[in-house]
């Protein structure tokens, strides 16, 4: 996806506002396995995925717990860093070679004060991130692992082809053995 498509899917901007925002966006590329963000650090950027897949996880002493996957067209940000300029909870790892658009948070906040359209765009971005978090919480609390897997199959079938099963199992909150049983049951 190109940057215009990504920005527009968050919230359509007048062309002048979009041009102002785009003037602060740079393109970057990182290899598979690159740690884009580290837990317990303030991250001064947000990213948009042009090409590739990333995962957000929380490292623990025993295993990493994956709680989000992002692919083409999606944003990558630490809400704690974005909103409060405080260290985030998550680490972000690239699962494929990725082409990203990068925007420095400080520049975005400056634009919020200068352009109401960009401020509204930023509000829509934050609202979308909040809804993703809410959906994750509700899914984990009220759905079975089978239901969560079926949701993943329905909503993000491409992830099942591009992401290793260990990360999928972690995302679903189950072991890889349980995931194998679920997959066999569905076939």
Instruction: Name the strands in the sheet holding 25-30, side by side, starting at the edge strand that comes first in the sequence.
Output: 25-30, 98-104, 45-51, 75-76
Which domains are seen in the chain, by residue range? Answer: 3-142 (2.60.120.10)
For residue range 72-117, list pLDDT tens digits in order. Answer: 999 999 999 999 999 999 999 999 999 999 999 999 999 999 999 9
* Percent of the chain residues past pLDDT 90, beyond the cut: 87
Torsion of CA 47, 29, 96, 5, to 10 degrees: 50
Global pTM value? 0.93
Q: In this predicted structure, what is the pLDDT of residue 59? A: 84
Question: How many C-beta atoms lie closer than 10 Å to residue 150's C-beta?
Answer: 14
3-state secondary structure of 105: helix
* Percent of the chain residues past pLDDT 70, beyond the cut: 100
For residue range 118-148, list pLDDT tens digits in order. Answer: 999 999 999 999 998 898 889 888 999 999 9
* Cα gap 105→24, rounded to integer Å: 10
For CA atoms 127, 42, 6, 163, give the dihedral sign.
negative
Residue 81 belongs to what H/E stretch?
helix 79-84
**Contact (Cβ atoms closer than 8 angstroms) between residue 152 and residue 41:** no
* Cα gap 54→49, rounded to integer Å: 9
């Amino acid at each position: 996806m190109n940057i215009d498509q990504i920005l527009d899917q968050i919230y359509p901007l007048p062309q002048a506002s979009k041009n102002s925002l785009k003037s602060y966006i740079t393109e970057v590329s990182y290899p598979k396995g690159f740690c884009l963000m580290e837990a317990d650090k303030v991250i001064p950027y947000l990213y948009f995925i042009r090409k590739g897949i990333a995962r957000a996880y929380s490292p623990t002493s025993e295993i990493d717990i994956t709680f989000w996957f992002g692919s083409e067209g999606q944003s990558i940000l630490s809400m704690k860093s974005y909103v409060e300029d405080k260290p985030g909870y998550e680490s972000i790892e690239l699962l494929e070679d990725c082409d990203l658009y990068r925007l420095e948070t400080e520049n975005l906040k400056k634009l919020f004060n200068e352009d109401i359209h960009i401020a509204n765009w930023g509000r829509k971005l934050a609202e979308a991130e909040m809804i993703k978090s809410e959906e994750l919480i509700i899914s984990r609390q009220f759905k079975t692992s089978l239901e969560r897997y079926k949701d993943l199959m329905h909503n993000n079938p491409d992830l099942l082809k591009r992401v290793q099963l260990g990360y999928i199992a972690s995302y679903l909150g189950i072991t890889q053995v349980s995931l194998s049983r679920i997959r066999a049951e569905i076939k």
